[in-house]
Structure 1
Amino acid sequence: MKFTLHLGAFKTGTSSLQSALFNNRSELLEYGILYPKTGISGKATSIGHRHSKFAYGTNQSESYRELLNQLDTEIMGHSVNHCIMSSEAFSLPAKIPSLNLLVSHLNNHYDGTVFGIIYLRNVCRYTIALYREWVRRWGETRRYNEFVSHRAWAFDFVSLLEKMSNIFDSKLEVASYQEVDDIVDDFCERVNISNIMTRSISKKNKTLNALDIEVIRQLNSHQVSPEQKARVMTRLEPKLANLRVNKYQETLTRRTLSKLAFSN
């Protein structure tokens, strides 16, 4: 039995890949490959069918053990020799214990190999992409430099990869997001399923620009509901369209840079 865990990171085309894998579940099953339904978060499925419950679950709780049992049941209910799972949340250092528990379970309960694949992007660009995602999706209210300073640990790729290497040993692949033309094509080639994937997927969860994100951040700080935010953004669209030509961009200060692990 072969397991392939796609580990993110955030904003590296993960939503498109997850949607492609989920929408091709029937085709994959015909070739003995399972993209499980177990563990897929019910939140934001419109931008990706991710196995986030395995990352965010409390790894010592009864509910997490039940989740693992449900995964075993789903796997045993199909005649498969390869299981693929995906969650960008595994790239969060705080979720390494959950990743370790999942991999340990798979190693202990199945005769096979567990592989990990992670795509990483330029760390400065990653700070911007992650900041915009957190403002847009999760109500972040801090300004860019405050956000990066507060979450400097999330951008320490060296520490992250060291911990992942301890889990996967030599079975961890690290790919550069900047060097990949299409995340779905690249991943499918790496796991030898390119000839199976038949349903194409348009790009999901496109990143907004700095101007739109700042408007949303301001709305977040006033605890505006998602519905109200949508209405405000619609009303502001004509004005924002004219302002976007200036191509605003977040900029790291020297003080923030000094807090990031990669600059030490």
Structure 2
Amino acid sequence: MKRIILHVGRHKSGTTSLQASFWENRNLFLSKGILYPESSRRENAHHLFAEALHPKRVRENGLANVENEDVIRNLINEIESSSCQTVLISSEAFQNCTPTDVKHIFRNYDVSIIFYIREQVGYLESAYLQEVQATNYHESIERFEEERFFVDYYKFYKSWEKEFNNGNVIVRAFEKSKLKNGDIVDDFFETVIFPLTDGEFQYKKPQYDGFLRNASLKGIYIPFKLRLNTTIKIHKPCLYQTLGILSDEIDENSTVISEYLKYKVNNDYRESNFNLSEELGLDFNFFFNRSSKVYYHSHSDISPSEFLNLLRQLIARDERCSYLLRELYSYELIDENEHFKFIFSDNLILDSLKFIYLNTAKQQRRLFSELETSDGSFRIKKEKFNPQTDFLSIFFENEKNSVPLRLMNGA
């Protein structure tokens, strides 16, 4: 019977680094009798396979039908056709699957489960900042914790242990002091891969930190992205990547988690963590965040000028992000018989503006008083505005000496 090593995450525990190393060493694995399948992958991991087993899809389509889908069959067929007796499969999306369904799919194999866990306070912060960075989420971390953060490790462990038996579920601590060489890749190879082969061997490592791969938002970029998220609908990869790079360059040792929230999270999971520690012999103190970071008020407001300056820095670093200017500082020009109607983009909220000017060849005319409070739009008689040459500009509040920002016609 072939053996399957199923790496099921968890999220925010070095999975990107691990999966990059798995893919980088797939040919070396083959020479050692270990298959890292090419089928059912997205990037370096088997996310497509795991997502096909999401409980919602299984409920809607039935497990028997899901089992016959190409994304499932292709990977199983690759396993069967390979001469390798050991198979490594990896996706943190498995943590959302029902272990009973996973067991059914792999019922003809000897399966071992492995996952890494990190203390919940650090997990919460990392998950929250990832959500803010990657999506348009703009709520507080307190609300995120209340509505989206459910990390009962003991319950998670028992759900897998029930289906795959004690000893076939391996739990490792994702903390530098507890990882081999302080590195997630070294830890996995030395504790999981090497015992499957005839001894240690040289392997390739990804060209980045093997403990934390994805650069998270830091410092002023947190309130910047939170404000940005209230309006933009399009999140291009360049935005995510560039914000990560800029944040990584900041010498910022801060946290978005208050002492109260830290206490709440530790207290909520104290019993669960104790039970897991007792059953697996883990260090119970591992679960208590010992960060040296100082408290950072992530939701202190960012001024319009600070926001615009950061946006300009973002575009200067990667001009592909210039699409944000049109989304944030533009207007739609509508022809209404004798008038032009100007409708601002949603982010041009009135309370952040000091003046709006109409700029023509002959004059610069202040228009703020002409805004209609109902929708933030205004009208100008056609003889007073030439769409080909004239334009609008704005000053933000409390910026007497600032250079106005020219608005773009987004129509």
1:77 aligns with 2:77: no
Cα deviation 1:12-41 (Å, max 9, x = unaligned): 111011011011111111222111122212
User: In the alignment, what sits opposite 1:5?
Assistant: 6
Alignment of structure 1 residues 201-212 onto 2, 5 Å:
201-203=206-208, 204-212=213-221
Letter in 2 for 1:86: S
**TM-score of the superposed pair, with normalisation by structure 1:** 0.80
1:262 aligns with 2:300: no
**Contact 1:4–1:85 (CA<8 Å) still a contact in 2?**
yes
- The 3 A distance-change label for structure 1 pair 137 and 37 is farther
**Contact 1:38–1:51 (CA<8 Å) still a contact in 2?**
yes
Unmatched segments (≥5 aa) in structure 2: 272-411
Letter in 2 for 1:15: T
Alignment of structure 1 residues 190-229 onto 2, 5 Å:
190-193=191-194, 195-196=200-201, 198-203=203-208, 204-227=213-236
User: In the alignment, what sits opposite 2:313?
Assistant: none
User: In the alignment, what sits opposite 1:182?
Assistant: 183
Match of 1:88 among 73, 88, 92: 92
**Contact 1:23–1:199 (CA<8 Å) still a contact in 2?**
yes
1:65 aligns with 2:68: yes
Rounded Cα–Cα distance in structure 1 between residues aligned with 2:5 and 2:165? 14
Rounded Cα–Cα distance in structure 1 between residues aligned with 2:131 and 2:68? 29
**Contact 2:219–2:252 (CA<8 Å) still a contact in 1?**
no
- The 3 A distance-change label for structure 1 pair 89 and 211 is farther
Q: Whose strand proportion is higher, 1 or 2?
A: 2
Q: CA shift at 1:252, angstroms?
A: 4.1
- The 3 A distance-change label for structure 1 pair 89 and 213 is farther
Letter in 2 for 1:56: E
Query: Which is further off, 159-168 or 9-18?
Result: 159-168
Higher relative contact order (CA 8 A, sep 6+): 1
1:55 aligns with 2:60: no
What fraction of aligned residue pairs are identical, expressed as a percent?
23
- For the aligned residue pairs, the C-alpha RMSD in angstroms reads 3.0
User: In the alignment, what sits opposite 1:40?
Assistant: 41
Letter in 2 for 1:172: V
**TM-score of the superposed pair, with normalisation by structure 2:** 0.53
Q: CA shift at 1:86, angstroms?
A: 1.0
**Contact 1:141–1:221 (CA<8 Å) still a contact in 2?**
yes
**Contact 1:216–1:229 (CA<8 Å) still a contact in 2?**
no
User: In the alignment, what sits opposite 2:374?
Assistant: none
- The 3 A distance-change label for structure 1 pair 149 and 11 is same
**Contact 1:7–1:86 (CA<8 Å) still a contact in 2?**
yes
Q: CA shift at 1:140, angstroms?
A: 2.5
Q: CA shift at 1:82, angstroms?
A: 0.5
Rounded Cα–Cα distance in structure 1 between residues aligned with 2:202 and 2:74? 26
Letter in 1 for 2:235: P
Rounded Cα–Cα distance in structure 2 between residues aligned with 1:15 and 1:74? 23
Cα deviation 1:61-91 (Å, max 9, x = unaligned): 6355323221121112221110001112223
Q: Answer with 1 or 2: which has the greater Rg.
A: 2
- The 3 A distance-change label for structure 1 pair 255 and 176 is closer
- The 3 A distance-change label for structure 1 pair 205 and 241 is closer
**Contact 2:3–2:87 (CA<8 Å) still a contact in 1?**
yes
Rounded Cα–Cα distance in structure 2 between residues aligned with 1:71 and 1:205? 28
Rounded Cα–Cα distance in structure 2 between residues aligned with 1:228 and 1:85? 26
Q: CA shift at 1:220, angstroms?
A: 2.1
Rounded Cα–Cα distance in structure 1 between residues aligned with 2:35 and 2:237? 40
User: In the alignment, what sits opposite 1:251?
Assistant: 257
